[in-house]
Structure 1
């Protein structure tokens, strides 16, 4: 069993062309060996993806390598997620993430979502071009601790302010912490619109989310917090 989990972790950390297929095979093998989904997740997948995030932060690997690892992780999770018992393992918190309306860019957002999962967060990824009301409905439905807004364009970035203002009007703003990021976004802009945190890149966004949770879903996190 340990050999299978070690190989699975190595597959996630590695960057082989067919690593996603191998990751799925190894998860199925571990399940056939009667390893629980929770053990596979906590002992192999989460530590491996956390290591990928650390190496990305330290510039030991770059976006193409992280995308390969993310694809392998997603393949493994597709097998595991239907089998996981709610509440059977401890999570860091729940993050709803998406790219704002009018913006169809998702590479950065996808990296953040995968690294958050690798750090133990439950992530609801709403995808691209997400209108404010869909975020609002999802906040009501899943009760997340954090909402992450992403934008790649200066024009679409301005949507973030209207989203936050509307959530205040709807009485939702006090329920969640808001984290923003994307190429044109700055810490000054995040402060201006009333966001709680700002991620300069994917690994920084994960650190910001962890800081929000560890501060009791409030407080500050130095330069990463708006």
Structure 2
């Protein structure tokens, strides 16, 4: 087996080369490399590097999106094998853009980065009402609930959702994180969220910290 097979997949993700990722994974599987090894060393490792490049200002949102899509193509190829092997995700996360807001690029990127870090993500889409968030919590029983808003006029729906959670038994059972262009750390604290991330890369760091994952 060529020693650089995993390195090639890693680099293809960083470069946003979807075809290279899928072909590399097929080659690695043909050479008998375990699916979990490919996930951890190539895909998760590469998305960690993408996050580093973003935080250092070498990558911007477009590069992150392209890399995340390449990673997702690889993950789709590996997922049936990982399920068959009983590989467990690091945690489960429900995401959605709040009611009245149809913006989803930031949320989508957060979801892809979290998947790339080894989490299971349930994406509820946009314009998600409080009762839909609660229904998703009942169905999926996640560790984290993530809410996004891009409009200042819809930020208040984050608080409405948190207030709705307090009327159920869910507020004490799930960590709530918020983000989006107009959202700030101060706003997150004001509405009683458990955390705030200014971008997708730091959302991964936040989730790991809240779930005490090294």
What SS does the corresponding residue of 2:169 show, helix, strand or coil?
coil
1:98-121: CA deviation from partner (whole Å, max 9, x where unpaired) = 111221111111221122222232
2:8 is aligned with 1:10: no
Unaligned segments of structure 1, at least 5 residues: 216-226
- Give the whole-Å Cα distance in 1 for the aligned partners of 2:163 and 2:61: 33
- Give the whole-Å Cα distance in 1 for the aligned partners of 2:88 and 2:76: 19
Q: TM-score when scaled to structure 2?
A: 0.91
Unaligned segments of structure 2, at least 5 residues: none
Residue 65 of structure 2: aligned partner: 67
User: Deviation at 1:63?
Assistant: 0.9
Is the alpha carbon distance of 1:171 and 1:86 closer, same or farther for their aligned partners in structure 2, counting shifts above 3 Å? farther
2:114 is aligned with 1:113: no
Question: Is the CA contact (8 Å cut-off) linking 2:95 and 2:121 kept in structure 1?
Answer: yes
Larger CA deviation: 69-78 vs 123-132: 123-132
Runs of 4+ in 1 over 6 A off after TM superposition: none
2:132 is aligned with 1:131: no
Q: TM-score when scaled to structure 1?
A: 0.87
Question: Is the CA contact (8 Å cut-off) linking 1:38 and 1:88 kept in structure 2?
Answer: no
Larger CA deviation: 31-40 vs 2-11: 31-40
What SS does the corresponding residue of 1:156 show, helix, strand or coil?
coil
Aligned residue pairs: how many? 213
What SS does the corresponding residue of 1:101 show, helix, strand or coil?
coil
Is the alpha carbon distance of 1:166 and 1:87 closer, same or farther for their aligned partners in structure 2, counting shifts above 3 Å? farther
Question: Is the CA contact (8 Å cut-off) linking 2:96 and 2:107 kept in structure 1?
Answer: yes
- What are the residue-to-residue correspondences of 1:148-159 with 2, within 5 Å? 148-159=146-157
Determine which of 83, 94, 97 is the counterpart of 1:96. 94
Residue 162 of structure 1: aligned partner: 160
2:26 is aligned with 1:28: yes
1:20-45: CA deviation from partner (whole Å, max 9, x where unpaired) = 12212222222222322211101211
- What are the residue-to-residue correspondences of 1:186-201 with 2, within 5 Å? 186-201=184-199
What SS does the corresponding residue of 2:92 show, helix, strand or coil?
strand
What SS does the corresponding residue of 2:120 show, helix, strand or coil?
strand
**C-alpha RMSD of the superposition:** 1.9
Question: Is the CA contact (8 Å cut-off) linking 1:92 and 1:213 kept in structure 2?
Answer: no
